[in-house]
Structure 1
Amino acid sequence: MASHRLSRQQIVYRLDQSIPPAVEIDPGDTVYFETYDARTGSILSDDDLLDHPHPVGSNPATGPVFVRGAEPGDGLCVTIESIDLAESGFLAVKKGEGLLAHRADHFATRIVPVNDGVVHFGDLRFPANPMVGVIGTAPAGDGISTSFAGPHGGNMDNRFITQGSRVHLPVEVEGAGLGIGDIHAAMGDGEITFIGLEICAEVAARVDLVKGAGIRRPLVETDHHWVTTGEGDDLGDAARMAANEMVDLLQARLELSFEEAYMLMSAAVDVQICQCCEPGEFPVTTRAVVSRDLVP
């Protein structure tokens, strides 16, 4: 299979079928996505504050990738083969924003080195946990900003999307229109300031095509877990969506009734927050997680 490289100059701020592809590939090819951080490389020092709107947008994704043979009703299986991080990223506080907006009285930025898999936050050290914030395909109809999540994927901010993960995505338009971006060197569940440890990176992803998959929504598969996703204007709606997808998965894979799967959910499935930076003002994303020891 062939490999392809996309520079971080080949960026989009929307997943949109009207955007010409940056590259055309065959199923099974690997694409190396060079990605910008969430502010397109504009944050270079602690003096660079998020006190003004970015002139072109936030959360850029590299792409789009046209997958030959991909048609509506198919699915992509995108395997994250590696995530190579830049030497530093940034954390920030935006005045009056985030989950603790009522306490965020000042703008602040911190450039944070990341060396040999270790994050250096002042005198504190903790392991990096590289993950992909934005991964998605172009939706049918109008496009959607890379700042938002939906049935197409998008800005899910799901820390289970990391090296080794397989992300199943629906194909809604010819060629799929895959984009990847918004890499974090580390991100706590919730991303409560709106900003994870934003960093430039290179992501190697193998892109396989599953004909007639009929995938409705993103599904994340790791060696140890199945992960369904949800999004909504409030936490309840988003959690309900992820749970609903997980109940369907349990019924299908374990041949259970709804009642059996629903009971099992309450005993063996974790419903978790992905991004909850400003509920009611900005859409929330969630996940439901089950062990593959229980669900092969």
Structure 2
Amino acid sequence: MSEFYEFNPTPEQYAYTFGPNKPLARVRPGDVLKIRTEDCFGGLVRGFGDLPSQVCTFPYLNPVTGPFYVEGAEPGDTLALHFVSITPARDWAVSSTFPHFGALTATSHTAMLHPPLEERVWVYEIDKAAGIVRYSARNSDFTVDLPLDPMHGTVGVAPGAFESRMTITPDAHGGNMDTPELRAGTTVYFGVNVEGALFGVGDGHARQGQGEVSGVAVEAAMETVVAVELIKGVATAWPRIESDTHLISTGSARPLEDAYRISQHDLVTWVSELTGLDLLDSLQLVTQAGEAPVGNVVDTNYTMVAKLAKDYLGRTSVYEGVHARLRALGAQYR
């Protein structure tokens, strides 16, 4: 029988790595959690004068709520997390330019002699009832209302082999993938690397454009409901996402071409397994019908996703139908 838990962490309980951290709680497959997550700045950036480089301390950025230990999870299994709802916890959110971070400035990986971009903070109004996020320019009176599209930039499990990874780094364990595909109504699949899986969730965005070009989305604290399931004896090499309409593969690496290849390779082989098509027939289908949105081009690894509409695959069963089951379970907790 499913259990429902609520978890609102204290500041000292947030995690800044995926790895062998002590779990905050133990849950079972079929359980549903309502968790509070903080924004990537830990709630410390609240106004124009709160420059991240002054109010935040590296490496205490991008906190996640977790880890949570999943009973029965073992290496070789797949963990499924279904986002039932993702709701901004405040009526405001923030964004910024940040020194040595982003796609259009000098960074630690792309060294230049010119100075970094000016550090600047933007404050966004959130109107949940109207479903909008209000952008206001800093140096003019220009404003525009953007659609509210809550998502989580960071979600993942512990890596294997005693490894610990900073939450800002995306890789095969998940992490800071920063793809808008991680919104409510989707199920994300992770290969389990350690006993208990040890998953965490954070880095809520009220919305984000593809690529997160400045390095910072509309960063928001969230109240998130997640349904948990475990698929025994089925391995998943890279995080995968399933919505009602699409199958989505991810790849995270540098350079961006390798992230693209990883995501496309995973989607082509996944489609082949689901349909029985040989690899070249599957490649041909993905080539002509697939999509390739960018996750991020700013993190320590970049993230690409590969999408294919499920309508093109006929009647196929994906991960034993877990997405539909978790969607039905989550409907009880909306």
Is the TM-score greater than 0.5? Answer: yes
Query: Counterpart in 1 of 2:255?
Result: 234
Identity across aligned pairs (percent)?
28
Query: Counterpart in 1 of 2:280?
Result: 259
Q: What amino acid does structure 2 have at the position aligned with 1:125? A: D
**How many pairs are equivalent?**
292
Query: Counterpart in 1 of 2:104?
Result: 100
In structure 1, what is the Cα distance between the partners aligned to 2:287 and 2:310? Answer: 16
Tell me the CA shift for residue 56 of structure 1: 4.3
- 1:284 is aligned, of 280, 284, 302, to 302
Q: Which runs of 4+ in 1 moved over 6 A?
A: none
Query: Counterpart in 2 of 1:115?
Result: 127
Tell me the CA shift for residue 96 of structure 1: 4.8
Query: Counterpart in 1 of 2:36?
Result: 34
**Is 1:12 aligned to residue 15 of structure 2?**
yes
Tell me the CA shift for residue 54 of structure 1: 2.2
CA contact (8 A) 2:171 2:301 kept: no
In structure 1, what is the Cα distance between the partners aligned to 2:239 and 2:117? Answer: 37
In structure 2, what is the Cα distance between the partners aligned to 1:253 and 1:96? Answer: 43
CA spacing shift, 1:56–1:277, aligned 2, 3 Å: closer
Query: Counterpart in 1 of 2:331?
Result: none
Give the structure with the higher percent helix: 2
Q: What amino acid does structure 1 have at the position aligned with 2:125? A: P
- 1:129 is aligned, of 124, 149, 153, to 149
What are the Cα deviations for residues 265-286 of structure 1, in whole angstroms up to 9, with x where unaligned? 22111122100127xxx32101
**Which is further off, 88-97 or 136-145?**
88-97
Secondary structure of the corresponding residue to residue 237 of structure 1: helix
Give the structure with the higher percent strand: 1
Q: What amino acid does structure 2 have at the position aligned with 1:134? A: T
In structure 2, what is the Cα distance between the partners aligned to 1:49 and 1:151? Answer: 32
TM-score after normalising by structure 1: 0.95
Gaps of 5+ in 1: none
Gaps of 5+ in 2: 107-114, 137-142, 317-334
RMSD between aligned residues = 1.5
**Which is further off, 69-78 or 95-104?**
95-104
CA contact (8 A) 2:32 2:225 kept: yes
CA contact (8 A) 1:247 1:265 kept: yes
What are the Cα deviations for residues 60-109 of structure 1, in whole angstroms up to 9, with x where unaligned? 11011011111111111111001110211101012453222169631100
